[in-house]
Amino acid sequence: MQRPEAWPRPHPGEGAAAAQAGGPAPPARAGEPSGLRLQEPSLYTIKAVFILDNDGRRLLAKYYDDTFPSMKEQMVFEKNVFNKTSRTESEIAFFGGMTIVYKNSIDLFLYVVGSSYENELMLMSVLTCLFESLNHMLRKNVEKRWLLENMDGAFLVLDEIVDGGVILESDPQQVIQKVLQSAKEQIKWSLLK
Protein backbone atom coordinates (compact mmCIF):
# COMPACT_ATOMS: atom_id res chain seq x y z
CA MET A 1 0.00 0.00 0.00
CA GLN A 2 1.44 3.33 -0.99
CA ARG A 3 1.42 6.24 1.36
CA PRO A 4 -0.63 9.19 0.11
CA GLU A 5 1.34 12.33 -0.46
CA ALA A 6 1.04 14.79 2.38
CA TRP A 7 -0.32 18.17 1.44
CA PRO A 8 2.23 20.67 2.73
CA ARG A 9 0.82 22.85 5.48
CA PRO A 10 1.56 26.52 4.75
CA HIS A 11 3.53 28.66 7.13
CA PRO A 12 1.27 31.03 9.07
CA GLY A 13 -0.04 33.68 6.77
CA GLU A 14 0.61 31.86 3.52
CA GLY A 15 -2.64 29.92 3.77
CA ALA A 16 -4.80 32.88 4.80
CA ALA A 17 -3.82 34.95 1.79
CA ALA A 18 -4.29 32.01 -0.61
CA ALA A 19 -7.68 31.14 0.88
CA GLN A 20 -8.92 34.74 0.61
CA ALA A 21 -7.63 35.01 -2.95
CA GLY A 22 -9.37 31.77 -3.89
CA GLY A 23 -6.16 29.76 -3.93
CA PRO A 24 -6.09 26.01 -4.41
CA ALA A 25 -7.33 23.76 -1.65
CA PRO A 26 -5.54 20.56 -0.70
CA PRO A 27 -6.70 17.65 -2.84
CA ALA A 28 -9.23 15.24 -1.36
CA ARG A 29 -7.91 11.75 -0.71
CA ALA A 30 -9.45 8.77 -2.42
CA GLY A 31 -12.69 7.73 -0.72
CA GLU A 32 -12.83 10.87 1.40
CA PRO A 33 -15.95 13.06 1.21
CA SER A 34 -14.87 16.43 -0.12
CA GLY A 35 -16.70 18.48 2.54
CA LEU A 36 -15.52 16.52 5.59
CA ARG A 37 -11.78 17.08 5.81
CA LEU A 38 -10.12 17.10 9.19
CA GLN A 39 -7.56 19.78 9.79
CA GLU A 40 -3.99 18.57 9.87
CA PRO A 41 -2.34 19.16 13.23
CA SER A 42 -0.10 22.18 13.40
CA LEU A 43 2.11 23.83 15.96
CA TYR A 44 0.90 27.25 14.76
CA THR A 45 -2.03 27.58 17.13
CA ILE A 46 -2.01 31.25 18.14
CA LYS A 47 -3.03 33.96 15.67
CA ALA A 48 -2.70 36.92 18.05
CA VAL A 49 -2.34 38.02 21.65
CA PHE A 50 -3.33 41.50 22.71
CA ILE A 51 -4.08 43.52 25.82
CA LEU A 52 -6.50 46.44 25.75
CA ASP A 53 -7.41 49.00 28.38
CA ASN A 54 -10.98 49.45 29.63
CA ASP A 55 -11.66 51.90 26.77
CA GLY A 56 -10.62 49.36 24.11
CA ARG A 57 -7.26 51.00 23.32
CA ARG A 58 -4.26 48.79 22.54
CA LEU A 59 -1.55 48.50 25.16
CA LEU A 60 0.28 45.43 23.89
CA ALA A 61 -0.30 43.34 20.77
CA LYS A 62 1.44 40.64 18.77
CA TYR A 63 0.03 39.12 15.58
CA TYR A 64 1.57 35.88 14.32
CA ASP A 65 0.11 35.58 10.81
CA ASP A 66 -1.19 37.86 8.09
CA THR A 67 -4.91 37.49 8.80
CA PHE A 68 -4.78 41.21 9.64
CA PRO A 69 -1.76 42.48 7.70
CA SER A 70 -2.05 46.20 8.40
CA MET A 71 -2.11 48.12 11.65
CA LYS A 72 -5.46 49.63 10.67
CA GLU A 73 -7.06 46.19 10.19
CA GLN A 74 -5.65 45.02 13.51
CA MET A 75 -7.04 48.05 15.34
CA VAL A 76 -10.49 47.59 13.77
CA PHE A 77 -10.46 43.91 14.74
CA GLU A 78 -9.42 44.72 18.31
CA LYS A 79 -12.12 47.37 18.66
CA ASN A 80 -14.79 44.97 17.33
CA VAL A 81 -13.64 42.20 19.68
CA PHE A 82 -13.63 44.62 22.60
CA ASN A 83 -17.16 45.83 21.78
CA LYS A 84 -18.38 42.23 21.67
CA THR A 85 -16.64 41.02 24.84
CA SER A 86 -16.38 43.97 27.23
CA ARG A 87 -19.93 43.66 28.57
CA THR A 88 -20.11 39.89 28.97
CA GLU A 89 -19.13 37.55 31.75
CA SER A 90 -18.07 34.62 29.56
CA GLU A 91 -14.49 33.70 28.73
CA ILE A 92 -14.82 32.47 25.14
CA ALA A 93 -16.09 34.25 22.04
CA PHE A 94 -16.36 33.27 18.40
CA PHE A 95 -15.86 36.23 16.11
CA GLY A 96 -14.98 36.52 12.44
CA GLY A 97 -14.22 32.82 12.08
CA MET A 98 -11.86 32.84 15.06
CA THR A 99 -11.92 31.52 18.60
CA ILE A 100 -11.08 34.15 21.20
CA VAL A 101 -10.48 33.55 24.89
CA TYR A 102 -10.27 36.54 27.18
CA LYS A 103 -9.96 37.71 30.75
CA ASN A 104 -10.66 41.01 32.49
CA SER A 105 -8.44 42.32 35.29
CA ILE A 106 -9.28 45.67 36.89
CA ASP A 107 -8.79 47.98 33.87
CA LEU A 108 -7.25 45.51 31.41
CA PHE A 109 -8.66 43.00 28.93
CA LEU A 110 -6.32 40.17 27.90
CA TYR A 111 -7.10 38.27 24.66
CA VAL A 112 -5.70 35.17 22.96
CA VAL A 113 -6.93 34.51 19.41
CA GLY A 114 -6.84 31.21 17.51
CA SER A 115 -8.54 29.83 14.43
CA SER A 116 -12.12 28.59 14.56
CA TYR A 117 -11.04 24.94 14.87
CA GLU A 118 -8.50 25.56 17.64
CA ASN A 119 -8.90 23.85 20.99
CA GLU A 120 -10.29 26.38 23.49
CA LEU A 121 -8.47 24.69 26.38
CA MET A 122 -5.10 25.22 24.70
CA LEU A 123 -5.91 28.86 24.08
CA MET A 124 -7.10 29.20 27.69
CA SER A 125 -3.86 27.68 28.99
CA VAL A 126 -1.91 30.38 27.12
CA LEU A 127 -4.19 33.09 28.53
CA THR A 128 -3.87 31.73 32.06
CA CYS A 129 -0.09 31.50 31.76
CA LEU A 130 0.08 35.08 30.46
CA PHE A 131 -2.10 36.40 33.26
CA GLU A 132 -0.33 34.47 36.04
CA SER A 133 3.12 35.46 34.73
CA LEU A 134 2.13 39.13 34.55
CA ASN A 135 0.53 38.83 37.99
CA HIS A 136 3.82 37.60 39.42
CA MET A 137 5.95 40.10 37.50
CA LEU A 138 3.72 43.06 38.45
CA ARG A 139 3.50 41.93 42.08
CA LYS A 140 -0.23 41.15 41.91
CA ASN A 141 -1.04 44.55 40.33
CA VAL A 142 -2.26 43.52 36.88
CA GLU A 143 -3.55 46.93 35.89
CA LYS A 144 -2.85 49.51 33.21
CA ARG A 145 -0.46 51.77 35.13
CA TRP A 146 1.82 48.94 36.25
CA LEU A 147 1.72 47.25 32.86
CA LEU A 148 2.78 50.47 31.10
CA GLU A 149 5.66 50.93 33.54
CA ASN A 150 6.85 47.36 32.93
CA MET A 151 6.12 46.97 29.22
CA ASP A 152 9.55 45.52 28.38
CA GLY A 153 8.97 42.75 30.93
CA ALA A 154 5.48 42.13 29.57
CA PHE A 155 6.89 41.61 26.06
CA LEU A 156 9.53 39.26 27.47
CA VAL A 157 6.79 37.26 29.19
CA LEU A 158 4.78 37.04 25.98
CA ASP A 159 7.85 36.03 23.96
CA GLU A 160 8.58 33.20 26.41
CA ILE A 161 5.01 31.89 26.09
CA VAL A 162 4.45 32.18 22.30
CA ASP A 163 6.96 32.41 19.47
CA GLY A 164 5.70 32.90 15.92
CA GLY A 165 2.30 31.45 16.82
CA VAL A 166 3.78 28.33 18.44
CA ILE A 167 3.12 27.77 22.14
CA LEU A 168 6.47 27.37 23.88
CA GLU A 169 5.43 27.33 27.53
CA SER A 170 2.22 27.21 29.53
CA ASP A 171 3.67 27.00 33.05
CA PRO A 172 3.89 30.49 34.63
CA GLN A 173 6.73 29.45 36.97
CA GLN A 174 8.88 28.36 34.01
CA VAL A 175 8.10 31.61 32.19
CA ILE A 176 9.11 33.72 35.21
CA GLN A 177 12.36 31.76 35.60
CA LYS A 178 13.23 32.31 31.93
CA VAL A 179 12.39 36.02 32.13
CA LEU A 180 14.53 36.42 35.25
CA GLN A 181 17.40 34.54 33.58
CA SER A 182 17.10 36.77 30.52
CA ALA A 183 17.11 39.91 32.71
CA LYS A 184 20.23 38.69 34.54
CA GLU A 185 21.99 38.09 31.22
CA GLN A 186 21.07 41.57 29.99
CA ILE A 187 22.47 43.15 33.16
CA LYS A 188 25.65 41.09 32.83
CA TRP A 189 26.17 42.17 29.20
CA SER A 190 25.47 45.83 30.01
CA LEU A 191 28.12 45.73 32.76
CA LEU A 192 30.68 44.23 30.38
CA LYS A 193 30.28 47.05 27.84
Of the listed ranges 22-26, 150-154, 181-185, the one predicted with least confidence: 22-26
Q: What is the pLDDT of residue 8?
A: 42
SS3 string of the chain? Answer: CCCCCCCCCCCCCHHHHHHHCCCCCCCCCCCCCCCCCCCCCCCECCCEEEEEECCCCEEEEEECCCCCCCHHHHHHHHHHHHHHHCCCCCCEEEECCEEEEEEEECCEEEEEEEECCCCHHHHHHHHHHHHHHHHHHCCCCCCHHHHHHCHHHHHHHHHHHEECCEECCCCHHHHHHHHHHHHHHHHHHHHHC
Confidence of residue 14 (pLDDT cuts 50, 70, 90): very low
Q: Residue 114 pLDDT more than 70?
A: yes
Q: What is the pLDDT of residues 143-169, one digit of tens each?
A: 899 989 989 889 999 999 999 999 999
**Does residue 17 register a pLDDT over 50?**
no
Share above pLDDT 70 across residues of the chain, in percent, rounded to a whole number: 77
At 19, is the pLDDT very low, low, confident or very high (cuts 50, 70, 90)?
Answer: very low
192/20: higher pLDDT:
192
